Each structure stands twice: as C-alpha cells, then as structure tokens.
Amino acid sequence: DQALWNVLKTAEERLRQTNPGPEQKRYMELTMQSFRDNGADLPPDKRARLEAIDRELTLASQRFNNLYMDARKSWTWTVRDAAFLEGIDNNALQQAREEFQSRSPGHSGPGWTFTLDSAASARVMEKAHCEECRKDLWEHLQTVATGACDTEPVIREILSLRREKAHLCGYGTYPDYALRESMAGNGENAMKFVNELLDKVKAPFFREMEALRRLKARLTRQENARLNPWDVAYYTSLQAKEQFRLDQEELRRYFPLPRVLDGLFSLAEQLYGIRVAEVPAGEGAGAVGTWHPDVRFFTIEDVRGNRLGSFYLDLFSRKSKRAGAWMNALDTGSPATRENPGKPRLGMVCLNLHPSAEGAAVLLSHQETRILFHEFGHLLHLMFTRVSIPSLAGTSVPRDFVEVPSQFMENWCWHPDVLKSFARHEKTGLPIPEEMLRSLDASRGNTPALALAGQLLYAKMDLAVHTDPERFAAGPLDEVDAAVAGDMDYFKDFKRTGKLRTARHLFSSPAGYASFYFAYRWAEVLDKDIFEAFERAGGPDRETARKFRKAILEKGYTVPPMQQFMDFMGRKPRMDAMLRKRRLAS
C-alpha cells in the first residue's frame, strides 16, 4: 500500500523533529527498515512479484506442515515378540502396549505399537538389547515423510521462493536476508561460526565414534565389529552407564514433577526475588478457565507484591497437541510508570511429558527437567521486560539471541547446590546422592563432540541449502546430508532419508528458523559465558542476577543484543566457556 508507505515516511520525518526517546527512535528505525526489506521501495512490477512470492510461501509452508503432520500420524511400528524389546523400561512398554490395544481392540495376543508422538521410540534405540530390533526400527524411521507424505517437492519449492525473495529485496542470498538484523549479521558470518566450531570438534568426534565401535566389539566379542547408525544411541547409553555409573531410569526417581517445579520456582525467587503462586484452574468461583483439565495457572509477583504477570502451564502430551516444547507470549503487557500502573504480562509454557500410569508419580528425566527450566527462562524474559512497544518487548529479539535467557536457565540443572535443593527421591524424600551428582557431571563428557557435531552439521545444512539451493537441485534431497557433512559423514555407506524431509523448524512457516538453526549454538556460546560470571560470584547470586536482569532481561530489542551482552559482561563473547562446559576444551 504505497499511500500508507508515504504516510509512514512523512510521519517518521515529522516525529524525528519531536525528539523521541530511545525506545521510540529504535522502533521507528526497525519499522522503516522492515518495510524496505519487504519491498516497500521496489518498483510496482517487483512489488507485485514479491506479494505473489509471500502468498506462495504461505501456501507452500502450509502444505509442508500438513504433509509433516500426516507423516507423523500415519507412522507406526508394531512388535509382537516381547523378546525383541528386552531392555526397554516398563513405562515405555506400557505406553506402547496401550497404543497397540487402542489400535487393535479385541486383538488376542501381545503387541506393542510405537508412534512418533511417543518418546518410547527413542527409548527403543537407546535401550533395546537386540540389534535386529534397533535396526528394524531405524529402517522403518527412514520411511517418514516419503511416499504419500513426500515432502521433497514442496521443500524445493520453498527454497526456490526464498532465494527469489532475497534477490528481489536486494540481498545476495536468503541467509543474508534472513540474518540482516541478527547478531551474526549475514550468512557468511553464520557459516564461519559453524565451521569454526566444527573444526574444533572434528578430531574428538572421530575419537568418540571409534570408542563406541570398540565398546561394541568388546561386548559382542567381534574384534572388527562395525558401528551402525542404530548402534550409536545404544552404545552411548551403555558407555555412560559403564564409565559414569549413571542409570538414567534411577536418576528419574530424584526428579518427581512437584519437586522439580518447587525447585524451579525457588531458584527464580532466589535469583530475582519473585514469587510464583498457583491459582486454581477450573470452573469454580475464583478459578481460571483453561483449555484442558491438565493445564495449570500461576501468577508471578515481585518482591513488593506487584503483579509482573501470569502464565498457563500445559505439561502433558495428548493427541491434539503439537510436539515439542515452547513458550508463547499471549500479552506483552506494559511497564508501570508514574502516570500509568502498567499491565501484567501473560504467557504460556508447554511441554510434552508423558502422563504416568494411574496413581504413579510423574518422574522427569534430567533432560526433561532442563527443557522445563529452558522454557521458564523464555517466560522470565517476557515477565521482566520493561518495554512498552510489543514488537520490541520480551522475547521479540533476533533468534541468535532469544535462546540466551532460556539456555542460561538450563545451566542450573547441572549446578550441584541447586540440584541438592530440590532433587529428592520420589518415595524416601532423600536428596540426590553425592556420587550420583558426580556421575551426572562427569556424564557431560560422554560423547560431547558427537552431540555437538550433529547439531552443527544440521545448522550447516540449513545455511548451505538456503545459500545455494541450485547446487543441491540436481540430486535427491536425501543426498544433501552427506554432501554437506563431507568427511564428517561417518555413515556415508548407509542409505538414509535426509533430515530436511522432517525439518519443521525450517519449512513449516514462510520464514520459520530458516538460516537460523545455528542460533542455538551461537546462543550457547553467550549463555555459558554469562553463566561462568554467576559461578565466579558463587552461584545463584542476587546481585549478579540483578545486573543480568537489568542489562538483558528487561531490554527486549530496544538495545542491540551485542550491546546487551557487553553491558553485562564488559566484553565481547568468547567460545572458551561453552567448550569447557561441553568437556571439549583442550
């Protein structure tokens, strides 16, 4: 709408003469640049084409999402022989048994059905003693998003449209366009960051894979045993149990859900002086309405009793709920001023924990505990915002910075004093043993390069296909993983479906996390650097937290993220802390 664009340009010119404040000035700058980056100054024919591209991208991403969801719903893997599943915990087997019974009512004989909406499938790869079982599951997983749910054609369409959009808007590549406001700044800097980290993990990656192969050779008594894709999770788990004496199922017993929530809220109070209180949910007097009986509602008040905001907590998986974990801002509210009392924020935190059997305690894995702390970190970013303009408030920051407050909170799940404050046995109430704490900390050294390399190669693939989609147009999509990994593709002889087929992060919306997958690791460099400042201060230090809140959590996008980091740390980020925490420092 060129008439609207002309009004905006006139308004900007006149508003600048009124001496706007820093927040208003930044809002105007970002808004005007956003309009230009979306074609406002293009000639009519190019504007028309850009509008058409945006419509086509919206439709294409919807088609991808529908195919992806259909692929998840249609995929099942059924086992009829109990011996095939030896080694898998009872909770996972019970879920699979109930799934089989619901899909085969009245069917005689045993059966276990696994779906992609259940964590039980991952437990099979990690725990099943029978290699043939793991192989069968791995091969069956290679059928996801193929056949009737083939996502390859729509992915190619999306890549082509994004490339054309970037060129129309004056950028050389789509990553340059997508990252224009990010901390990285452009695709070249993002790829340089990913490759620099890959160089650091390459040698330890191959050492770790060889260690797993040797473990398989010893346990199977086959000196020249070959490590297969379906072996990695299994022997990684065995290695952890053998070297670090850490039984993940026993560890779960120290993370009952009520205690984890108490520990999380107590930590937030210790750091920031806030109070988290539950409000009854339901239909009675004073109760808060929710969209499902499992959903809970909480308020957050500051040290003076002022309401910062409220949030819904939706923890359990169900068939009508999307996969994964997330925090959403429902209302960014507004800060209090002398003239205005302000408006509390409203958010929601969603996970997909699996409900326990009737009457049994809900026990979280250490990873699930970290995920809960992670999403609560996003929520605090929203709750503490001191920004009045919604599009600059809370988590409305570039994606290579938005994960910093959330990943920062995860660090406390490794801190021994914090863990001892809430990790207690589900039945005895005894605190987590010192030996288990030491084993948990040591387990961070179990294949750290393997885990990091997988994430970095995914990020590199994301950047590569968006930088030069034509390079990968000649061959099948399933060959992209190996082409991008190069000499770091340990399983180059195995035919696999490409990870892009199910890359919902990248293709389920017109922009999504496209060209931004590296952001998790970029943010990790920052969050580990920040966390070491807390460690130097002795742990959950209130004064350090006050400085962190003031420099970062309150600012939203009113201050460039690099400036926020430097205001807190007094310098630019360094990779050292991240490598130390991952046990990869030389």
pLDDT tens by residue, 29-68: 999 999 999 999 999 999 999 999 999 999 999 999 999 9
DSSP per residue, 4-58 = HHHHHHHHHHHHHTT---HHHHHHHHHHHHHHHHTTTTS-HHHHHHHHHHHHHHH
Q: Write the single-letter amino acid at 111.
A: G
Q: What pLDDT score was predicted for residue 586?
A: 65
Instruction: Sort 173 into a burial class: Cβ within 10 Å, 0-12 / 13-18 / 19+.
Output: buried
Residue 211 has pLDDT above 70, yes or no: yes
Task: Calculate what percentage of the chain has a pLDDT beyond 90.
Answer: 85
Q: Which residue has the tokens 């058409």?
A: 52
Contacts of residue 37, defined as CB under 8 A and 6 or more positions apart, other chains included, come to: 169, 177, 180
Q: What pLDDT score was predicted for residue 256?
A: 97
Q: Which residue has the tokens 């910062």?
A: 308
**Most confident by average pLDDT, 332-341, 366-375, 471-480:** 366-375
Residue 357 has pLDDT above 80, yes or no: no
Q: What pLDDT score was predicted for residue 121?
A: 83
Cα–Cα dist 354/319, whole Å: 11
Tell me the chain's radius of gyration from C-alpha atoms: 25
106-127 tens-digit pLDDT:
887 899 999 987 777 888 999 9
| Cβ atoms of 466 and 173 closer than 8 Å | yes
Contacts 24+ apart (CB under 8 A), 364-370: 364/252, 364/255, 364/256, 364/257, 364/260, 365/248, 365/251, 365/252, 365/255, 366/248, 366/251, 366/255, 366/413, 366/440, 368/255, 369/255, 369/260, 369/413, 370/410, 370/413
Instruction: State the chain's mean pLDDT as an integer.
Output: 94
Structure tokens at 252: 């779960």
- Maximum CA pair distance of the chain? 80
Structure tokens at 208: 């770790």
Cα–Cα dist 576/563, whole Å: 20
- Please state the rounded mean pLDDT for residues 86-105: 91
With the CA atoms of 100, 106, 109 and 115 taken in that order, what torsion angle do they form, in degrees rounded to the nearest 10?
A: -10
Q: How many CA atoms lie within 13 A of 306 on its CB side?
A: 13
| Cβ atoms of 363 and 119 closer than 8 Å | no
pTM value is 0.88
Q: What pLDDT score was predicted for residue 198?
A: 96
Partners of 132 in the β-ladder:
none
Contacts of residue 62, defined as CB under 8 A and 6 or more positions apart, other chains included, come to: none
Cα–Cα dist 69/323, whole Å: 10
| Cβ atoms of 85 and 129 closer than 8 Å | no
Higher pLDDT, 92 or 462: 462
245-289 tens-digit pLDDT:
888 889 999 999 999 999 999 999 999 999 999 999 887 778 899
Q: Write the single-letter amino acid at 445.
A: G
Characterize the bridge pairing of strands 307-316 and 345-353.
parallel
